[in-house]
Amino acid sequence: MSHQNPLVLTLQDLETEALSAIRAAPDAGALEDLRVSYLGRKEGRISEILRGLGGLEADQRPPVGAEANRVKDVLQQALKARETEVASAGGDSGAGIEDLTLPARQRWKGGVHPVNRVVDEIWSIFRSMGFVRARGPEAETEWYNFVALNTPLDHPAADEQDTLYLRDSALLRSHTSPVQVRTMEKYEPPIRIIAPGMAYRRDSYDATHTPAFTQIEGLVVDEGITFIDFKATLAEFARRFWGSGTKVRFRPSFFPFTEPSAEVDVKRVITKKDGTRGESDWIEIMGAGMVDPNVLENVGYDPERYTGFAFGMGPARIAMLKYGVPDLRIFLQHDIRFLSQFTTGRAP
Ligand code: PHE
């Protein structure tokens, strides 16, 4: 056999190149572009070769012409097959089994528990006022939980009826106030702390009580801290948390570790059912007071030089008000239908 016309090889290269381009074409538009560039009447590269057949030696025309027509057929068939494929796959470039319009499965993201959200919010308000965070152990001694806090052991709070004892004089702290003592023992004033944590009491389990609950303790001690600092700080907190129209009231009360003591109530601006603005009832949000000089003395501070105030609140109670939850137990039952309202994802 004499030499093969180089056009035959060119045609075979074009065939390989075009076939792989057709297989990779993502949609009908891309296929049409390929059809034009290989088989288009004016500029198609196969068509060009066919048009030039007349200029070849007579004996070269049949083999080149036959090869050109074969490649043309192959490409036409490949274009058609790929066209059907992309049409049924909705434009997908894969094997045609994926449905790209199917929404992605949402992942379960979890979320911050509503009580912890309230803790975070309260903490961030105090942080912006210059407080730092403190913590202490949940298993405590009588000294930290009662005695250092000016609460004699024959006080009803220290009774086994109210406090969960572990063994001997070890107990589960019945409030977060022992963190006050631990902090003052360790650091010199000025003190400005927020201490969120669990507290435990021998209590019933009902709509408004649980034996284990979260508290947030606050303590400020420095030279020259007065009742005015106390009132202003807590009123500022309440207005930041509930809004600037919130009214704050300090009601005389008693705690062994503060003197004078108060219970702090708020009256919130609310939107009533008929859409008009109104005020809520007074709601108690915390116990508080000026730190009793005996407590300062117990931790080795000079009560002539230093004064301070302290407060303790129950974020679960505040979360009940904030989210309209009527029963504390809902916070502890891990019902995914309730908790999923506080996530950004979706329940599985
Ligand atoms: N520890 C008190 C309680 O649990 C609250 C409190 C804290 C009161 C700090 C005054 C000062 O009821």
Q: What is the pLDDT of residues 183-209, one digit of tens each?
A: 999 999 999 999 999 999 999 999 999
Is residue 288 in contact with ligand 1, taking CB distance under 6 Å?
Answer: yes
Question: Of 23-27, 56-60, 104-108, 245-249, which one has max mean pLDDT?
Answer: 245-249
Rounded mean pLDDT of 143-160? Answer: 92
Q: Is residue 348 part of a domain?
A: no
Looking at the CA of residue 175, tell me the nearest atom of ligand 1: 4
Residue 339 — pLDDT band, cuts 50, 70, 90?
confident
Q: Is residue 102 part of a domain?
A: no
* 3-class secondary-structure state, position 95: coil
The token pair at 273 is: 């059912």
Amino acid found at 163: T
Residues 82 and 181 in one domain: no
Q: Is residue 279 part of a domain?
A: yes
Structural domains in the chain (count): 2
HSE of 203, CA atoms in CB hemisphere, 13 A:
16
Residues 69 and 138 in one domain: no
CATH assignment at residue 199: 3.30.930.10
Q: Is residue 69 part of a domain?
A: yes
Q: Is residue 211 part of a domain?
A: yes
Res. 276: pLDDT tops 50:
yes
Q: Is residue 232 part of a domain?
A: yes
Residue 92 — pLDDT band, cuts 50, 70, 90?
very low
Ligand 1 centroid to 218 CA: how many Å?
9
Is residue 122 in contact with ligand 1, taking CB distance under 6 Å?
Answer: no
Q: Which residues contact 262 (CB under 8 A, 6 or more apart)?
A: 250, 251, 252, 253, 287, 288, 289
Residues 306 and 201 in one domain: yes
Is residue 163 in contact with ligand 1, taking CB distance under 6 Å?
Answer: no
Residues 240 and 207 in one domain: yes
pTM, to two decimals: 0.70
Domain stops at, among 74, 89, 104: 89
Is residue 175 in contact with ligand 1, taking CB distance under 6 Å?
Answer: yes
The domain in which residue 291 lies consists of: 114-342
Looking at the CA of residue 177, tell me the nearest atom of ligand 1: 1
Mean pLDDT of the chain: 91
Torsion sign, CA atoms 47, 52, 54, 57 = negative
Residue spans of beta strands (DSSP E) within 292-321: 306-313
Residue 56 — pLDDT band, cuts 50, 70, 90?
confident
Residues 56 and 171 in one domain: no
Residues 180 and 51 in one domain: no
Question: Residue 140's CB: how many other CB atoms inside 10 A?
Answer: 25
Residues 252 and 329 in one domain: yes
Determine the Cα–Cα distance for residues 163 and 123; give it in Å rounded to an integer.
Answer: 27
Rounded mean pLDDT of 322-348? Answer: 82
Please count the residues of the chain.
348
Which pLDDT belongs to residue 152?
Answer: 94
Domain stops at, among 72, 89, 106: 89
CB of 288 within 8 A of CB of 263? yes
Determine the Cα–Cα distance for residues 115 and 120; give it in Å rounded to an integer.
Answer: 9
Ligand 1 centroid to 324 CA: how many Å?
25
Residues 120 and 81 in one domain: no
Q: Is residue 100 part of a domain?
A: no
Residues 121 and 62 in one domain: no
Residues 268 and 305 in one domain: yes
Ligand 1 centroid to 216 CA: how many Å?
9
Weakest mean pLDDT among 72-81, 180-189, 254-263: 72-81
Is residue 255 in contact with ligand 1, taking CB distance under 6 Å?
Answer: yes
Question: Residue 228's CB: how many other CB atoms inside 10 A?
Answer: 8
Element containing residue 137 per DSSP (H, E): none
Q: Is residue 109 part of a domain?
A: no
Q: Which residues contact 98 (CB under 8 A, 6 or more apart)?
A: 89, 92
Residues 148 and 242 in one domain: yes
Residues 220 and 322 in one domain: yes
Which residue lies with its CA nearest to atom 4 of ligand 1?
175
* 3-class secondary-structure state, position 223: strand
